[in-house]
A and B are shown apart, each in its own frame.
Chain A
């Protein structure tokens, strides 16, 4: 439905921004909690850390990075259009540009984060 509805790129940009935003909010809850744990119970925190360093954790962090980068780039696109209204004419091009940047930065980034899974480092 999301792709067939007539909203086009602008609607998809909005939907992804919202989904990524909710996911990031949920992660912030977890992340402040785990860093708080590093202060009150360092040993327990060090155990939790093993989850972040595990293969499943690395996949999760890669997805988190993708959500963060998408939300950041599309957020910049929103700000550009808010304060330079003429750019709303090019909202599609801005959205495609954000995807180009996302993959250009994200693929090498994902490689760095995921490579310890197969090198065993």
Chain B
């Protein structure tokens, strides 16, 4: 089987949840290839960090529901991709109770971060013009 050198995780043969995670990692990866690279380009090449005050976010970056939807999609992709990626790292280097504890901490952290991101993108008021 191991004829070639590769750097990705091998497709799980077990099926079920682990196989689903393997596919979703690739789907969210493709999603982030588009959204995260576009996001980085917008905030660094189209605009400059120096001008991106809280007021600028509300009026320019998040001035429309469409942009907020795109950014919320990116948040969904990145929460899954980053935390499940870290789960792979944890599984590679730990075992037993430590692994269980760290994995649970990652799941809890993902939930908190996703909630914080969702709250701010949904509730930041549009500027009164």
Using CB atoms and an 8 Å cutoff, list the residues of chain A in contact with chain B: 7-11, 13-14, 17-18, 21-22, 24-25, 28-29, 32-33, 35-36, 38-40, 42-43, 45-46, 49, 52-53, 57-58, 61, 65, 68-69, 72, 74-79, 81-82, 88-89, 91, 109, 112-113, 116, 121
For chain A, what secondary structure do more than half of its interface residues adopt (helix, strand, loop), or is it mixed?
A: helix
A-B contact pairs, 30 of them (CB 8 A): A9-B5, A10-B5, A14-B7, A22-B86, A25-B83, A25-B85, A32-B113, A33-B116, A35-B117, A36-B117, A36-B119, A38-B57, A38-B124, A39-B119, A39-B120, A42-B55, A49-B50, A52-B49, A57-B49, A75-B29, A79-B8, A79-B30, A88-B4, A88-B5, A89-B4, A91-B5, A112-B44, A113-B44, A121-B48, A121-B50
Task: Using known A-B contacts A25-B82, A38-B120, A75-B29, determine if residue A82 contacts B4 with beta carbons closer than 8 Å.
Answer: no
Say yes or no: A38 contacts B6, CB within 8 Å: no
Q: State A77–B44 Cα separation when bound (angstroms).
A: 25
Provide the B18-36 mask, 1 if CB < 8 A to any CB of A, else 0: 0000000010011011001
**Bound Cα distance A8, B7 (Å):** 11
Q: What's the least CB distance linking A58 to chain B, in Å? A: 8
* Docked-complex contact A61 and B44, CB < 8 angstroms: yes
Binding site for A on B (CB under 8 A): 3-8, 11, 26, 29-30, 32-33, 36-37, 40, 44-45, 48-50, 52-55, 57, 75, 78, 82-83, 85-86, 89, 109, 113, 116-117, 119-120, 123-124
